[in-house]
Amino acid sequence: MERAWEILDGACGGDKTTDRATGVLVLGLIPNDPRSARLAEKALADEKPEVRSAAAAALGNMQSRRSIPKLKAAMEDPDPSVALAAAHSLDLMHDKSAYEVYYGVLNGERKAGKGLLASQASMLHDPKKMAELGFEEGIGFIPFAGIGWGAIKAIRKDDASPVRAAAARVLARDPDPATTKALIEATGDNSWIVQAAALEALAKRGDPSALQTAAQYMSDEKGAIKFTAAAAVIHLTAIKGSTKRKRPPISKSQ
């Protein structure tokens, strides 16, 4: 086994960026091992963003909860691919701080007026760069699995909508009311992929306050939006009715 560690140590400390990135990424296959966690944490400070992204992804794959503070710090990395990798790993470990980055991807800014680093803001407002992030980096870090085949066929090389749609799906689990507002705004997005993802997220959040918004899209010409809106209306109406039934009766004062 020591020979195996020698190989990984050599890769993680090598001169070639691709070797370091690959060596660091495969550390995620070694859970519950302090040595692998230390190597990955060290790589978070690498000069190359590809290596830092791999390190953040590896720590999530190995479920290194001791590394959560370092991953939170990595969300402020000047390279958006690193911030996304760190956010995805935090999300894998059910840490709510991950939602900050996904909120920024969907909305173009962080929550509570928190500013983005200049490099992050530049990419989040550049559709071509966002699309490149999605195609080149995002497959490993962003949960694209929920996007249907129709959406995949609609993707263009300058289209950031898959990345933003994936962010919307992650935000379905964010309990912050500000996220409900952001998702409601996203239902009016120019991209139907983002619209459908936002409606899906609103349904999964189970907040009846979004019922009226979902109902507005049941007459949309796009089937994916119309059908998602209809399902959201059914689900949210049931939740609203259930909430009403659970309310205790108001006692009359004698």
Q: Which CATH number fits domain 2-186: 1.10.10, 1.25.40, 1.25.10, 3.40.50?
A: 1.25.10
- Per DSSP, the three-state class of 39 is helix
Q: State mean pLDDT over 191-218.
A: 90
Q: State mean pLDDT over 118-141.
A: 52
Residue type, 119: S
Does 137 score more than 60 pLDDT?
A: no
Tell me phi and psi for residue 94, to 5 degrees.
Answer: 60, 35
Q: State mean pLDDT over 237-251.
A: 66
Residue type, 248: P
pLDDT tens, residue by residue, 7-48: 989 999 999 888 888 888 878 888 889 999 999 999 999 999
DSSP state of 158: T
pLDDT averaged over every residue in the chain: 79
- Look-up: residue for tokens 């379905």? 172
Q: State mean pLDDT over 74-78.
A: 89
| Res 122: pLDDT | 63
Banded model confidence at residue 78, pLDDT cuts 50, 70, 90: confident
The whole-angstrom separation of Cα 39 and Cα 54 is 11
Q: What percent of the chain has pLDDT over 70?
A: 75
Does 129 score more than 90 pLDDT?
A: no
Banded model confidence at residue 196, pLDDT cuts 50, 70, 90: confident
Q: State mean pLDDT over 67-91.
A: 90
Does 81 score more than 90 pLDDT?
A: no
| Res 148: pLDDT | 43
Taking a C-beta distance cutoff of 8 angstroms, is the pair 194, 168 a contact?
yes
Higher pLDDT, 128 or 251: 128
The whole-angstrom separation of Cα 26 and Cα 18 is 12
pLDDT tens, residue by residue, 55-72: 998 999 899 999 999 999
| Res 200: pLDDT | 87
Length of the chain: 254
| Res 69: pLDDT | 97
Taking a C-beta distance cutoff of 8 angstroms, is the pair 72, 90 a contact?
yes
Q: State mean pLDDT over 86-101.
A: 90
Q: Is the dihedral of CA 225, 230, 234, 239 positive or negative?
A: positive
| The model scores a pTM over 0.85 | no
The mean-pLDDT minimum among 37-51, 126-140, 148-162, 218-232 falls in 126-140
Backbone φ/ψ region at 113: left (φ over 0), alpha (ψ -120 to 50), beta: left
The whole-angstrom separation of Cα 134 and Cα 155 is 11
| Res 179: pLDDT | 93
Q: State mean pLDDT over 47-51.
A: 91
Banded model confidence at residue 136, pLDDT cuts 50, 70, 90: very low
